[in-house]
Amino acid sequence: MRVWASLAVTFAIVSVVPAGAAEAIDAKIVVHADKLGAKIDRNIYGHFVEHLGRGVYEGIWVGEDSPIPNTRGIRKDVVAALKQLNPPVVRWPGGCFADSYHWRDGVGPRDKRPASINGSWGNVPESNAFGTHEFMDFAEQVGAKPFVSINVGSGTVQEADSWMQYMTAPADSPPGKERAKNGRTEPWNVPYIGVGNETWGCGGNMFADTYADEFRKYAAFVRTWSGPRGQLIAVGADTDEYAWTETMMKRAMLWRPDPSPMAYNVDRPLMPMLSLHFYTFAGTWQKKGASTGFGEDGWKAGLKRAYVMDELIRKHGAIMDKYDPEKKVGLAVDEWGTWWDGTKGASTLYQENTLRDAIIAGMTLNIFHDHADRVRMANIAQTINVLQAMVLTKGEKMIVTPTWHVFEMYKVHQDATRLPVDVTAPAYGDLPSLSVSASRDAAGLVHVSIVNLDPEKAARIDLSGVGKVTDSRMLTADAMDAHPAFDQADPFVPVALKNIKAKGKAVWLEVPSKSVTVLTVQ
């Protein structure tokens, strides 16, 4: 038996109870509505766009002359779908692509921009039609703040500083006048700046101490030239490389290495956020497992690896606590999600998005909620047509994925206050059968999100500590690998949960197997 200490009051379920389902398990959930926890930063629901496969070209950018409806070259259907998620932040231009990207190639008249090669992803041609202005336009259209990753691997401090000047300098400055000539008079707000990407790998093959010194150098010159100072996000560990986190906290957290009387900006860390990258698959990096056609072994293996996220945050967080007990430095899980073997004949890293992806999304977001005191941002990889995407396109057609539905259901947790939760339920093998999170929003409503990991058994739940359930939404499907298809009705539209019974502050309900549910409680 496993006890989880976190719940959220809004259920998101992904399917209906199939005929002939196995006997249900009995579970008890207690929401401690009188014990307020940390704020669930809305940036945990962030997104990631990289020049990769059809993520940018076709996924976002179709060009102003395209027959696909667009606004200044950016497709309208994708924007409309993403806006429904209240996306807080979008990371761009990568990823590995960021450390070979030179920003000047992507500004100015498009017909005069130099074409290049995307050496990070298949050596395919890169037109540079989608550059700084187009990305900023896209972010504004979907209502998100920009997170720009600067080129540390093959770039220079001067190039990074020049890009920041171009984006943020006042209109009457020389960089501002150049920006205006290219179509934007007022400076952009760039609140988040990634100082390189995966510098331990594709971003430079650096050792931790080498990158720590590079970060300090870039931090001295990469600044915001008008408006609020952008937060620098340092490259953190790949999965469980805890020594990297130790080095970064020891060498790069403070402006000065020791809090001597001569130190300055002691109350504001040099490194406001440190990143973490972690991907979920059902096998190994070399053979990750199929995105569809899997059985319960593939289901369980994927969920088991996804659950490692909790361990990673706890252990990296413990190292950060040693140097930063006040938690001034946030953890940014700026690449996470599922990565299966690619769909045969499809574009690079295109994969079908199934019910398993929805379950993994729900349980991972619940884990982020559990660690909201340290996790300040997360960016799922990636937004369109790549890995665990929100939407998929096929020419002029577009569909939303099961993961999109989970993000849409869970948006009630954005900037809400986490409420602790006790969960008692039988285990699903060596995993908890239920993942639960609860929060209270600014209007006082409690939302509880419940994920049932068991692919066969429904869960009869005794829910206490809350009031009347005023809304419920459940997402599930008959098959573990069910997935949406073009030209077919969406099988993942959430439905209301049936047969909810209540008495006082006690609620009884049953959630289907392999489902995500979100409840709203007054």
Write a three-state SS string for 445-512: CEEEEEEECCCCEEEEEEEECCCCEEEEEEEECCCCCCCCCCCCCCCCCCECCCCCEEECCEEEEEEC
Cα within 13 Å of Cα(487), Cβ side:
3
**What is the pLDDT confidence band of residue 255, given thresholds at 50, 70 and 90?**
confident
- The answer to whether residue 213 scores a pLDDT higher than 70 is yes
Average pLDDT over residues 472-488: 97
- pLDDT mean across residues, the chain: 93
pLDDT at 15: 35
d(CA 135, CA 405): 24
CATH superfamily ID and name for 42-415 = Glycosidases (3.20.20.80)
**154-193, pLDDT tens digit by residue?**
999 999 999 999 999 999 999 999 999 999 999 999 999 9
Residue 437 parent element (H or E)? strand 434-440
- The mean-pLDDT minimum among 2-6, 20-24, 189-193, 335-339 falls in 2-6
Residue 133 in contact with residue 163, Cβ under 8 Å?
A: no
**What is the pLDDT confidence band of residue 267, given thresholds at 50, 70 and 90?**
low
- The answer to whether residue 260 scores a pLDDT higher than 90 is no
Average pLDDT over residues 311-340: 97
Reply yes or no on domain 2-37+419-521 having CATH 2.60.40.1180: yes
- The mean-pLDDT minimum among 48-52, 198-202, 256-260 falls in 256-260
pLDDT at 442: 96
Average pLDDT over residues 10-23: 43
Give CA separation, 401 vs 55, 125, 297, in Å.
15, 28, 23
- The answer to whether residue 266 scores a pLDDT higher than 70 is no
Q: Which residues contact 516 (CB under 8 A, 6 or more apart)?
A: 11, 12, 13, 14, 358, 359, 361, 362, 406, 409, 449, 450, 451, 452, 474, 475, 476
Average pLDDT over residues 340-367: 95
pLDDT at 256: 67
- The mean-pLDDT minimum among 32-46, 197-211, 243-257, 486-500 falls in 243-257
pLDDT at 6: 31
pLDDT at 51: 98
d(CA 460, CA 27): 6
End-to-end alpha-carbon separation of the chain, Å? 30
For the record, the structure tokens of 1 come out as: 């038996």
d(CA 296, CA 276): 29
**Phi/psi at 39 (nearest 5 deg)?**
-75, 135
Residue 469 in contact with residue 31, Cβ under 8 Å?
A: no
pLDDT at 19: 41
The residue whose two tokens read 């940390």 is 38
Query: What's this model's pTM, rounded to 2 decimal places?
Result: 0.93
For the record, the structure tokens of 521 come out as: 């409680």
Choose among 3, 15, 514, 485: nearest CA to 296: 514
Give alpha helix (H) positions in 279-401: 296-323, 355-370
pLDDT at 12: 35
Question: What is the tally of helices (H) and strands (E) in the chain?
Answer: 9, 27
**268-297, pLDDT tens digit by residue?**
789 999 999 999 999 999 999 999 999 999
- The mean-pLDDT minimum among 162-176, 258-272, 423-437 falls in 258-272
Q: Which residues contact 272 (CB under 8 A, 6 or more apart)?
A: 231, 232, 233, 328, 329, 330
196/254: higher pLDDT: 196
- The mean-pLDDT minimum among 24-33, 51-60, 258-267, 427-436 falls in 258-267
d(CA 83, CA 426): 38
pLDDT at 20: 42
pLDDT at 257: 59
pLDDT at 261: 45
**60-97, pLDDT tens digit by residue?**
999 999 999 999 999 999 999 999 999 999 999 999 99
**What is the pLDDT confidence band of residue 522, given thresholds at 50, 70 and 90?**
confident
- The answer to whether residue 258 scores a pLDDT higher than 70 is no
**What is the pLDDT confidence band of residue 254, given thresholds at 50, 70 and 90?**
confident
In angstroms, what is the C-alpha Rg of the chain? 23
- The mean-pLDDT minimum among 19-28, 127-136, 398-407, 474-483 falls in 19-28
Query: Which residues of 316-396 form beta strands (DSSP E)?
Result: 330-338, 375-380, 391-394
For the record, the structure tokens of 175 come out as: 């960089």
- The answer to whether residue 212 scores a pLDDT higher than 90 is yes
pLDDT at 76: 98
Domain with CATH 3.20.20.80 in the chain: 42-415
Determine the 3-state secondary structure of 208 from DSSP. helix
Angle between helices 132-142 and 157-168 (to 10 degrees): 50
- The answer to whether residue 322 scores a pLDDT higher than 50 is yes
Residue 107 in contact with residue 136, Cβ under 8 Å?
A: no
Average pLDDT over residues 118-136: 96
- The answer to whether residue 259 scores a pLDDT higher than 90 is no
261/237: higher pLDDT: 237
pLDDT at 345: 87
Catalytic residues: 198, 335
